[in-house]
Amino acid sequence: MKRHLPPLLILLGFLTINTHIFPAQDLPAKKNQEISQKTEKQEQKKEGQKESPQLPIRSAENVTWRDILELNQRTFDKSTSQSTFIISAIGVIATLIMLGIGVASFLGIRGINTLRADINQKREEIIKCHEEIKKRQGEIEEKSKKFDEILANIEKSYQEIQEKSSQLSGITISESVSKEIKEQLSSFARKTDIAEAFGFQLKPDDYLARANNLFIKGLYEESLKTFEKVVELRPNFHNAWSNKSVTLIRLHRYEDALKASEKAIELKPDYAEAWINKGVALGKLNRHEDALKASEKAIELKPDYAEAWLNKGVALGKLNRLDDALNAFERAIELKPDYADAWLNKGVTLSKLNRLDDALKANERALELEPDYADTWYNKAYCYSVLKNKSEALKSLAKAIQLYPNYKKIAKSGEDFKGLWEDEDFRKLTAE
């Protein structure tokens, strides 16, 4: 690009060239006379004042042409020197200004180029981000469709939950629950968990079914909390109060269990399951006569209720009415042949009646139905101990202790294995 010199520099150059002072020319006589007259007047005005040391004080007649020229030349030289200094300073300043303008202009061009490059880079990044956003938007739309499908399936499952909840909440956990019902409860619990996670509002029946499932899994504390939520949502839900009492029995809170069962009976006096639970709680509190009455009330309300006959047999056994107890257990087995608890209690009662062989048969049947029932293994060990069959007794006792470690203390402190107390193998087995 063609560059032009700034006008200021041209002017400064011109002034620099003309700093040369031309020699003074002769002045006309008239001009000299005027100067003399002016000088004379100035001297008169300045009388008594000290004049410049360059020229002595003279009268107008004594001032020569040379004196005037010397004075003028000195004055002009002084002015010229000052002007030259000022012009030189202005030239330096102008040069510095031009240099600054040039540097700024250079840097400005570089800055603009850098800025332009940055803008182009940012534009490319924005274009890439836009393309990425469009791509992600497509993925989101696809996932949104899948989510809608999942939500539709959840809504369908929730409708199924509502259809099933009343049936599953009606289960009484005082009775043994079949494998089929356990599977249904487990599946139902998974569906309710998912539905609740997606914001569906569960009903008391749903929570009750969940609590039943937790109980069956042995999670009694969690089950109890859920039962309490049910009765909080629906205080008059008699089935929830009844099942809550069963849970409290498992937690060894017998007084609370008795109150819960009585609340269920208050809400529904003809509810046989609540009477059974009341009988169990009374039995745990060693109120066996009252427990027997509660069981008989349950049988009165529901004669073919195997659990009622079982609890009646337990109460009779505690009252040492062993034959009546055996009859009650056999009636329970008659009503429900695969009732493991009934077979176990029959075996215990037969062993107390010293019918050890029959007792062992009853225990074997109970173990076929419930292989991991520690009480049955313990009763089996007792029968072999009385029969003086040490190896089988210790084998069955070891299994009972494996399933329920507290049987170590029970075996050492009770009378059931008194004949083996001094045996070294027995001591090793029951050592803490």
Q: Give the pLDDT confidence of 408-418 residue by residue, as tens digits.
A: 999 988 788 98
Pick from 202, 247, 244: nearest CA to 227: 244
Comparing 156-160, 252-256, 263-267, which segment has the lowest mean pLDDT? 156-160
State the pLDDT confidence band at 103, using cuts at 50, 70 and 90: low
Q: Give the pLDDT confidence of 323-348 residue by residue, as tens digits.
A: 999 999 999 999 999 999 999 999 99
* Cα–Cα distance measured from residue 315 to residue 294, given in angstroms and rounded to the nearest whole number: 10
Residue 71 has a pLDDT of: 59
Query: What's the predicted TM-score (pTM) here?
Result: 0.60
Phi, psi dihedrals of residue 200, rounded to the nearest 5°: -75, 135
Q: In 10 A of CB 140, how many CB atoms?
A: 12
The secondary structure of 18-83 as a DSSP string is TTPPPPPPPPPHHHHHHHHHHHHHHHHHTTTS---TTS----TTT--HHHHHHHHHHHHHHHHHHH
Mark residue 316 as left, alpha or beta (left: phi above 0; alpha: psi -120 to 50; beta: remaining). alpha
* Cα–Cα distance measured from residue 211 to residue 217, given in angstroms and rounded to the nearest whole number: 10
**Secondary structure class of 388 (helix, strand, coil):** coil
Residue 370 has a pLDDT of: 92
Q: What average pLDDT does this structure show over 383-405?
A: 94
Q: Give the pLDDT confidence of 46-99 residue by residue, as tens digits.
A: 444 444 444 444 444 455 555 555 655 566 565 556 656 666 667 667 677 766
For all residues of the chain together, what is the average pLDDT?
Answer: 77
* Cα–Cα distance measured from residue 81 to residue 169, given in angstroms and rounded to the nearest whole number: 118
Percent of the chain with pLDDT over 70: 60
Phi, psi dihedrals of residue 423, rounded to the nearest 5°: -75, 135
Q: How many CA atoms lie within 13 A of 212 on its CB side?
A: 34
* Cα–Cα distance measured from residue 305 to residue 340, given in angstroms and rounded to the nearest whole number: 15
State the pLDDT confidence band at 404, using cuts at 50, 70 and 90: very high
> Among positive and negative, which fits the CA dihedral 147, 149, 153, 156?
positive
Q: What is the DSSP letter of 173?
A: T
Token code pair at residue 30 = 């008239």
Element at 271 (helix H, strand E): none
- Give CA torsion, residues 145, 147, 150, 152, to 10 deg: -70
Q: How many CA atoms lie within 13 A of 61 on its CB side?
A: 0
Residue 1 has a pLDDT of: 43
Say if residues 376 and 344 touch (Cβ distance below 8 Å). yes
Domains and CATH numbers, the chain: 110-285 (1.25.40.10)
Q: Give the pLDDT confidence of 192-210 residue by residue, as tens digits.
A: 666 666 666 777 878 888 8
Q: What is the DSSP letter of 353?
A: T
